Structure 1
Amino acid sequence: MNATDRTPADLLRSALTADPARPLVTFYDDATGERVELSVATFANWVAKTANLLQGDLAAEPGMRAAVLLPAHWQTAVWLLACSSVGVVADVGGDPAAADLVITGPDALERASACPGERVALALRPLGGRFPEPPRGFMDYAVEVPSQGDRFTPYAPVDATAPALAVAGRELTGEQMVEQARADARQHGLTPGSRMLSALPYDSWEGLSAGLYAPLAAGGSVVLCRHLDRLPGDGLDKRRESERVTVTAL
């Protein structure tokens, strides 16, 4: 990654320039049997579409706060980078009533209804499927995102020194996120090409770093696992082998 990268969105742009075809996020949900692998280019395309939805349809501006009520999931990773691209503060697990908008999964719809602003719901179904019946008062992400543009340009430059992420009582700027992600990557021994398997939830910096930011900062990739406890006894070892995992965070 480039030394000049100052936000997570910068890290993604550098990854796209370096090797767009390599895997970036491989996601498993062992409750459903889902496996999704996204290359850098595919992931960046989802981020661009989501950022366009955020900036355009949702009228989000730099400094606005989005309550992110989502589990560790590939679509959550997309939203986190989309927020970084627009300059919106991603408040992971934050109070929807105090947010400008909310992005929620199906398990937190009632809580998310407290948001006075725009509300977006993700069904979190395999292959990014939509809700069978859209939840009342919410935009169905899977319905709205496909028609968005494949390229994103922010209306205003993103300030790397402004707040960008809030999680578990901790708030970081984009610059601090990049610095901490690089430090975490060094601590984990991540290098370009490393494959990090993470089963940590996205409810702390440690989980977000292991499951997205540190591998991205290192030029590596993440194998993000949800419901890993559903695997049989030797399932984890087999996954490490099949996915060529070099580092594990459990």
Structure 2
Amino acid sequence: MTPSTSPLGRLLDGVVSRVLDAPLAVMPPDALSHTDTGTGTGTTGPANTTGTGAVDGLAALLARRLRADPARPLLTFYDDATGERTELSATTVDNWVAKTANLLVDTLGIGPGDTIRIVLPPHWQTAVILLAAWSSGACVSIGRPEPATDTPPVAIFIRENDLDTPLATGDEADVVALSLRPMGGRLLRPAPGALDFAAEILAHGDRFTPPGPPANQRALVRMASYYARAWGLAERDRVLTTAGYETPEGLLAGLLSPLAAGASLVVCRNLDDALLERRITTERVTAVCGPMPSTPTGIRRLSVPSR
């Protein structure tokens, strides 16, 4: 991919494009040299308390969470426009990530260093695709493309509703469409030239052996751990997020740092503001990020400092 204009930003080249340049720039210079030994307690020690040994990549971070507590919910998803509630344990997330990584490698021919563009809203399937892309060693471009700087993707993941827009084009890129309907339903209409994620995923196994992560993925893991420590995240935390993954808050507070801390997520799409306080109570939420009308008393707001 095209190198970042920021010297610090180059630390994440080959992992994720642009989104994290600002929060990376305000980190202490020695933060990325920190080795997560997995022996801390959340606020004062290393972010993760669920294992031992350094973690080099995102696949190992997920594996550590799986070993620690496979049955505990890792991701709970709400879509208030459809009434959907989907809860996934660490085991279920791991199975979906493995199936998706096998799809990337076996069907799409994705290899380490290839770029995948993901233009999807906050959703449990979006989180799965992100983790699967990093597990396969791919680079991720999140959100709408910037043709002047973005490396042409090998594959593009988009919503079914975007199939007729310029988002579905790339330099001979494979297009994978998602309905984002409840229960991971198939596309509602034929999509010539595109793959239906829900149909394609069925043929793939739920075990995947990741290649060694690119060196810069270690920087991403350490960045996630740094912010988990800064926010005081621990295993008991449940983070409610409405933020898109194309934002620093969505990517760090809404996915990577809770994973590094062994915490769990409540991902809300089309949030009904009137339901917010009840949902926080019902889901035992301890922290929030992303757009919402207010932050209830006693709930931490996780925000990423700007440059």
- Fold match (TM-score > 0.5): yes
Q: Which of 265, 279, 288 in structure 2 is aligned with 1:239? A: 279
Unpaired stretches in structure 2, ≥5 consecutive residues = 1-47, 291-307
1:118-169 deviations in whole A, cap 9, x for unaligned? Answer: 1111110111000122322100000010221110124xx33331xxxxxxxx
Distance 2:119 2:251 in 1: 14
1:18 maps to which residue?
A: 68
Q: Which of 155, 173, 181 in structure 2 is aligned with 1:125? A: 181
Instruction: Answer yes or no: is the 8 Å Cα contact 1:68–1:92 preserved in 2.
Output: yes
1:111 maps to which residue?
A: 166
Q: Which of 199, 205, 211 in structure 1 is aligned with 2:242? A: 199
Q: Which of 57, 60, 66 in structure 2 is aligned with 1:7? A: 57
| CA RMSD between the two structures | 1.5
Taking only the aligned residue pairs, the percentage that are identical comes to: 45
Confirm whether residue 62 of structure 1 aligns to residue 112 of structure 2. yes
Instruction: Answer yes or no: is the 8 Å Cα contact 1:71–1:201 preserved in 2.
Output: yes
1:134 maps to which residue?
A: 190
Distance 1:207 1:3 in 2: 27
SS at match of 1:102: strand
Confirm whether residue 28 of structure 1 aligns to residue 99 of structure 2. no
Instruction: Read off the aligned partner of 1:237 and give its amino acid letter.
Output: E
2:127 maps to which residue?
A: 77
Q: Which of 70, 92, 99 in structure 1 is aligned with 2:142? A: 92
Q: 1:107 to 1:208 in 2, by over 3 A?
A: farther
SS at match of 1:81: helix
Deviation at 1:205, TM superposition (A): 2.3
Instruction: Answer yes or no: is the 8 Å Cα contact 1:96–1:102 preserved in 2.
Output: no
Instruction: Read off the aligned partner of 1:142 and give its amino acid letter.
Output: A
Instruction: Answer yes or no: is the 8 Å Cα contact 1:63–1:87 preserved in 2.
Output: yes
Q: 1:217 to 1:88 in 2, by over 3 A?
A: same
SS at match of 1:241: helix
1:166-245 correspondence to structure 2 within 5 Å: 173-228=216-271, 230-232=272-274, 235-245=275-285
Distance 2:222 2:188 in 1: 41
Judging by fraction of residues, say which structure has more strand.
1
SS at match of 1:104: strand
Q: 1:58 to 1:96 in 2, by over 3 A?
A: farther
Distance 1:88 1:134 in 2: 28
1:101 maps to which residue?
A: 155
SS at match of 2:193: coil
Judging by fraction of residues, say which structure has more helix.
1
SS at match of 2:130: helix
Q: 1:243 to 1:103 in 2, by over 3 A?
A: same
From the CA coordinates, give the structure whose radius of gyration is larger. 2
2:289 maps to which residue?
A: 249
Unpaired stretches in structure 1, ≥5 consecutive residues = 162-172
Instruction: Read off the aligned partner of 2:193 and give its amino acid letter.
Output: G
Distance 1:176 1:107 in 2: 35
Instruction: Answer yes or no: is the 8 Å Cα contact 1:69–1:108 preserved in 2.
Output: no
Confirm whether residue 46 of structure 1 aligns to residue 89 of structure 2. no
TM-score of the two chains, using structure 2 as the length reference: 0.73
Instruction: Answer yes or no: is the 8 Å Cα contact 2:249–2:289 preserved in 1.
Output: no
Instruction: Read off the aligned partner of 2:106 and give its amino acid letter.
Output: G
SS at match of 1:130: coil
Instruction: Read off the aligned partner of 1:175 and give its amino acid letter.
Output: R
